[in-house]
Amino acid sequence: MHSRLLTILVTAYTPASWGTTYIVTTELLPPHRPLLAGVVRALPSGLILLAFTRELPRGEWWWKSFVLGAVNVGVLFAFLFIAAERLPGGVASTVTALSPLIVAILSWPLLGIRPTVTMIAAGVIGVVGVALLVLTPSAALDSIGLLAAVGTTSVFALGMVLTKRWGRPSSLVAFTGWQLAAGGLMLLPVALAVEGLPDSVGGRALGGFAYLAIANTALAYALWFRGIEHLSATAVSFLLLLVPIVATLLGLVVLDETLTLLQACGMLLAFLGLVGGQLAEAARSRRAVLSEPVAATPASRAR
């Protein structure tokens, strides 16, 4: 129990750090360069990890690494860019909160894990909580942006399930480096074609890029993949509800934003959904262990 709780807390670092991405991007980085930020987050981190481990994929892991790099990094960041450009942040965050439900659904055919009613209920509570927390009455819906937001959530959910299904053939550091390098290489030509390079990059921007590359990406993704390895994909996905919670709290503390009563209720519901999802998954795991047949001992066979 203590080991599982510690794993959850360590894995929670990742969505908590991702919750800081918005404020770092808006306050420190060059404006209107989200794809460039994605490249800087992924590619240098991946190359540094590859240089450190000196491990390259072998056999089928070449294409598997590119598939995982696409869904966990490259295609994910591209969809994020489109959604961020065409949707209010509240709408995009609400769609992202659907991740636990999508992961639960994908885990059934791909991992053989049937979602429970309690788990689905916790996922719905989390979505409602995030909606109350971040949606505003003036939020507008754009069809292309909405599709991109759904794409963001879907590919990320697929990445979690595939990571759980395929496992990893090497060290965690090398496994993380393969995906970050692959995703960054996919993003690089798109970023150069769509955004180009900024005219200048100051010290604040360099600090922001360094934070995103090291703490927000290299370390965060390594802990994320470790969490997927030791926990179920569904349990990990519920931790994503921390992203809008942390982003909102930072807005209150750093940007002097205010929180309405409805938003406070939403934050509470989102947190309850997160905790409920972990409890539901823990209960399912215990039932699975208890239902496993006990191997007969030599003494029992003798009787």
For residues 152 and 130, give the distance between their C-alpha atoms in angstroms, rounded to a whole number.
17
Nearest to 244 by CA among 22, 9, 7, 6: 22
The pLDDT value given to residue 137: 65
Sign of CA dihedral 276, 111, 95, 213: positive
pTM of the shown model: 0.83
Query: In the structure encoding, which two tokens stand for residue 283, read together?
Result: 């209960």
Average pLDDT, the chain: 84
Cα–Cα distance between 10 and 8 in angstroms, integer? 6
Q: How far is CA 121 from CA 82, 116, 264, 269, in A?
A: 30, 9, 20, 12
For the chain, give every domain's residue range.
2-116+139-232
- CA–CA separation, 54 and 51 (whole Å): 5
Q: What is the pLDDT of residues 203-260, one digit of tens each?
A: 888 998 899 889 988 999 999 999 999 988 888 888 988 888 888 888 888 877 777 8
| Size of the chain, expressed as the number of residues it contains | 303
pLDDT of residue 88: 62
Q: Are 118 and 280 in contact (CB under 8 A)?
A: yes
In tens digits, what is the pLDDT along the chain, a chain of 303 residues?
568 889 999 999 998 998 888 788 778 888 778 788 888 889 999 999 999 999 999 999 999 999 999 999 998 888 877 776 676 656 666 777 888 888 888 888 888 888 888 889 998 998 888 888 877 666 566 778 788 888 888 898 899 899 999 999 999 999 999 999 999 999 999 889 988 888 778 888 899 889 988 998 899 999 999 999 998 888 888 898 888 888 888 888 887 777 788 888 888 998 898 998 888 888 877 776 666 555 444 444 444
The pLDDT assigned to 175 comes to 94
pLDDT at 290: 66
